[in-house]
Structure 1
């Protein structure tokens, strides 16, 4: 039954020849994954690693891992700042795999004298390698030459753009990812045969949030993210996190979909998606560890055991790039 459900998802995705971008539950602690303008935002170099196992127990379920690092190239008091970021990502869904590498550049303009408010513009360029593993395909005729016995690859260049505004207690992020996906093909070619790939499609992101002080020890950070590929339902993440004693975050999110570009959702597609429980802990001024558990609240709930996501962050503090205000976002 579980294999049948996964096959249905794969068939639907192949028919559309596009897939949704991977969305991490802990994206609010790794802004570079959704906006290149985030590069250098923290005022010091920051390394983030993340691993996600989605739909645990479902054969061929998505698995994703990534590493990113970003920091300031120039952070002079009287000049605009510049940031650089690099992100490597690996994603697997059934017999298909993708590996991506992006380099991001951000130009940050201070909007006040004490440099606590900035407007940043970011550009990212990179490439995605798509891989189809023929050994993981199941077919009726084992000698059928139409299917590759090993694996086939194809590489597509890509670009992304973003704008990021932040103040000590507020942020606004707008970005567009996978800009070249609508103009370049990533289909596989093998011995004269063409294979349509579940490849990416362009996505628009809008995210905003603020920090509210509930007491000297507790702060509340509500936020929202809207993700849209202008083709299917619009994904909306509503998040709320509590910061306790400046070292411990606890909260959750609710993910749903709205038919913005269509009058109504198909009857077989539920608007409800998933809910997440998230915890983050700063071991000290350098190390952060986080965990998120997603549980589906749609028809897929009984076919798997939820999704697990863990992340580790390392903040390379230095006197040269010290910041006068905390980076809550």
Structure 2
């Protein structure tokens, strides 16, 4: 009985997370945002203003298996590109597909950002993204033996519901040491199919505003060949409880080895995640594991996430100055030595 209760509870949570396509609150569903453990490495996934801020172009592949081992658990596949085709501009794109039981969500998004400086120490960026989003149920929702008789809500959900949404973001780097950014997911939203397809008129009242924020620092310790990047992620997605992420990312050996830790919490749950990765030349491979501290955790083996990244062009550092060798300096009068000023006079 306990397992059945937890299953029903988790199924209800899943229904909300993937968009409530069989429910009648599309405005809330549209504001549900993707969950990534690796976002401190790829901020453009959550904030369009962070697109192209590194001055390089990068291909990204991300796969997340949440609550692994539980039948019908969420599986998310993301393919993205992040680049800077011009000095003051960033362009990016993302394709996102999520499957959770019989529920599906597809997103295709394009990011644009404009970069500028107020002075030598402060770099800023404004970003805008536009996305096509579709929610639908598999045909299994109709053919399932538990489904009895025609249900117009489920039948329409199988056909899918389509939306257009726009995000707005801001990002800033101060003294190449501090980072701050925020984004408003789905600030503008409109339905692309029949607005009354679920049989319920659109909600004309005030809709909850969603917000994500990022605060971080960069501590460089060259004597240890180490860079530490502590950060805090904040998110308020629609009617969901306020959530906080505390992250610590360590980059070792000239940014070839990565180790990270994340502690996430809100009023109803908390989870811990660990990250490890390597970067060889242009190729990066990152893996993380996290688990939540809920009763439901005993029915799954945690969540796994893997990211593959490839730099389309490598950002070269300026060559280091060679130390001055006094023994190799030509003696006075030898070729290659300038004449003393006194002799010229």
TM over 0.5: yes
Return the alpha-carbon distance in structure 2 between the equivalents of residues 187 and 24 of structure 1: 32
Return the alpha-carbon distance in structure 2 between the equivalents of residues 86 and 291 of structure 1: 22
Alignment of 1:158-237 (within 5 A): 158-167=165-174, 168-181=176-189, 184=191, 194=199, 203-214=210-221, 215-237=223-245
2:324 equivalent in structure 1: none
Return the alpha-carbon distance in structure 1 between the equivalents of residues 291 and 112 of structure 2: 35
Provide the alpha-carbon RMSD of the alignment. 2.9
User: Of 278, 291, 300, which residue of structure 2 is paired with 1:281?
Assistant: 278
Q: TM-score, structure 1 length as denominator?
A: 0.80
Where 2:233 maps in the other structure, the secondary structure is: strand
Return the alpha-carbon distance in structure 2 between the equivalents of residues 159 and 302 of structure 1: 38
Return the alpha-carbon distance in structure 1 between the equivalents of residues 14 and 192 of structure 2: 19
User: Of 116, 138, 144, which residue of structure 2 is paired with 1:109?
Assistant: 116
Q: CA deviation at 1:5?
A: 3.9
Alignment check: 8 A CA contact 2:162 2:191 kept: no
1:301 equivalent in structure 2: 297
Q: CA deviation at 1:140?
A: 3.9
- Work out whether 1:98 is the aligned partner of 2:95: no
Q: CA deviation at 1:184?
A: 4.4
* Larger relative strand fraction: 1
Q: Which has the larger radius of gyration?
A: 2
Higher relative contact order (CA 8 A, sep 6+): 1
Alignment check: 8 A CA contact 1:65 1:91 kept: yes
Alignment check: 8 A CA contact 2:167 2:187 kept: yes
2:339 equivalent in structure 1: none
Alpha-carbon distance change, 221 to 188 in structure 1, aligned in 2, over 3 angstroms: same
Q: CA deviation at 1:57?
A: 1.6
Alpha-carbon distance change, 185 to 150 in structure 1, aligned in 2, over 3 angstroms: closer
* Alignment deviations for residues 114-170 of structure 1 (CA, whole Å, 9 cap, x no partner): xx7410000111210112213145454555364539931221001001001014222
Return the alpha-carbon distance in structure 2 between the equivalents of residues 154 and 59 of structure 1: 25
- Paired residues, what number? 296
Alignment check: 8 A CA contact 1:21 1:203 kept: no
Return the alpha-carbon distance in structure 2 between the equivalents of residues 144 and 16 of structure 1: 18
1:267 equivalent in structure 2: none
Q: CA deviation at 1:171?
A: 0.8
* Alignment deviations for residues 250-282 of structure 1 (CA, whole Å, 9 cap, x no partner): 121000014xxxxxxxxxxx2x32110011211
Where 2:37 maps in the other structure, the secondary structure is: coil
Alpha-carbon distance change, 21 to 186 in structure 1, aligned in 2, over 3 angstroms: farther
Gaps of 5+ in 2: 202-206, 319-345
Return the alpha-carbon distance in structure 1 between the equivalents of residues 116 and 65 of structure 2: 38
- Work out whether 1:122 is the aligned partner of 2:95: no
User: Of 228, 242, 263, which residue of structure 2 is paired with 1:254?
Assistant: 263
Q: CA deviation at 1:243?
A: 1.4
1:264 equivalent in structure 2: none
Return the alpha-carbon distance in structure 1 between the equivalents of residues 194 and 98 of structure 2: 17
1:144 equivalent in structure 2: 150
1:311 equivalent in structure 2: 307
Return the alpha-carbon distance in structure 2 between the equivalents of residues 47 and 322 of structure 1: 18
1:70 equivalent in structure 2: 82
Q: CA deviation at 1:177?
A: 0.9
Alignment check: 8 A CA contact 1:6 1:61 kept: no
* Larger relative helix fraction: 2
Q: CA deviation at 1:216?
A: 3.0
Alignment check: 8 A CA contact 1:134 1:150 kept: no
